[in-house]
Amino acid sequence: MNPSDISVVIPTLNEAATIENAIRSATRAGATEVIVCDGGSQDETLSIASDTGATKIVRSIPGRGIQLNAGAVFASREVVLFLHADNLLGESCLQQICDVPDVVWGAFEQHIDHPRFAYRLIEKGNAARVRFRGMAFGDQAIFVRRQIYKEVGGFEEIELMEDVAFSRIMRKIAKPVLLTGPVTISPRRWEQRGIVGQTLQNWNLRCRYHLGASPRRLAKQYR
């Protein structure tokens, strides 16, 4: 397997400010199939994606789980990688996947694009969650063999926590591989709400989800 055997799916909704860099990071990493699945953007997201070289542009109703599945329908490569529009793949990320024998699924270590030491702690905590709990989140660029993805039915089509639900299913099949990446992620939500405030909100949302709260209601609070 080589990087061209990996499809990259990017869900978008009004991501004109970020989509170009996300696509370029995928192509620099060796992707030859980049699928943008848009949930109804009102800005220039689609035209920028087209001009930047997205292989396919798919339109979908909004909702990250719905969009991820809609984009994956058009994926034709052996492995599918799901990349958030405000995340960037490191140049060696796809090759790292190829170097893992018989890879089933996994995610990457992160680099939060800010020099504060507190972000280094968040990065380490997120890596430990994958390594010890088998729980990968979407901003770690989850990847999975396409055939297995189809067998488990893809992502649950919910507005939030689709990555948590997917990890719960996948860790029963195989332990996720954690690769060094890194995936560079934006600190924008932490900077808007404060590191402590955003972290506490994330924990609150996940706890409520585990206790049975509606993903739709949680998504409204998250936004």
The per-residue pLDDT for range 197-214, each reduced to its tens digit, is: 677 666 666 666 565 556
Question: Which CATH number fits the domain that encloses residue 155?
Answer: 3.90.550.10
Residue 66's pLDDT is 94
* pLDDT of 9 strictly over 90: yes
* pLDDT of 158 strictly over 90: no
Helix (H, G, I), strand (E, B) or coil at 160: coil
The verdict on residue 116 lying in a domain is yes
In 29-117, where do the E strands start and end?
33-38, 56-59, 79-82, 87-89, 105-112
Domain enclosing residue 53, as ranges: 3-188
pLDDT band with cut points at 50, 70 and 90 for residue 195: confident
The verdict on residue 200 lying in a domain is no
Lowest-pLDDT range, 151-155, 156-160, 201-205?
201-205
The verdict on residue 177 lying in a domain is yes
Residue 160's pLDDT is 76
Residue 55's pLDDT is 96
Query: Which residues, listed in sequence order, are joined to residue 104 by a DSSP beta bridge?
Result: none
* pLDDT of 159 strictly over 90: no
Q: What is the pLDDT of residues 101-118, one digit of tens each?
A: 999 999 999 999 999 999
Distances, alpha carbon 99 to alpha carbons 2, 16, 107, 160, 179, in Å: 9, 33, 14, 31, 10
Count structural domains, the chain: 1
The verdict on residue 86 lying in a domain is yes
If you count them, how many residues does the chain have? Answer: 223
The verdict on residue 198 lying in a domain is no
CA atoms within 13 A on the CB side of 2: 3
**Residues with Cβ < 8 Å from 34, sequence gap 6 or more?**
7, 8, 10, 23, 26, 27, 53, 54, 55, 56
The verdict on residue 46 lying in a domain is yes
Distances, alpha carbon 13 to alpha carbons 3, 19, 126, 158, in Å: 26, 10, 25, 15
The verdict on residue 216 lying in a domain is no
Neighbours of 59 (CB within 10 A): 13
The verdict on residue 73 lying in a domain is yes
Single-letter amino acid code for the residue at 114: H
Residue 36's pLDDT is 98
Q: What is the pLDDT of residues 22-81, one digit of tens each?
A: 999 999 999 999 999 999 999 999 999 999 999 999 999 998 899 999 999 999 999 999
Residue 167 region, left (φ>0) first, then alpha (ψ -120 to 50), else beta?
alpha
Task: Quote the tokens at residue 125.
Answer: 């905590």
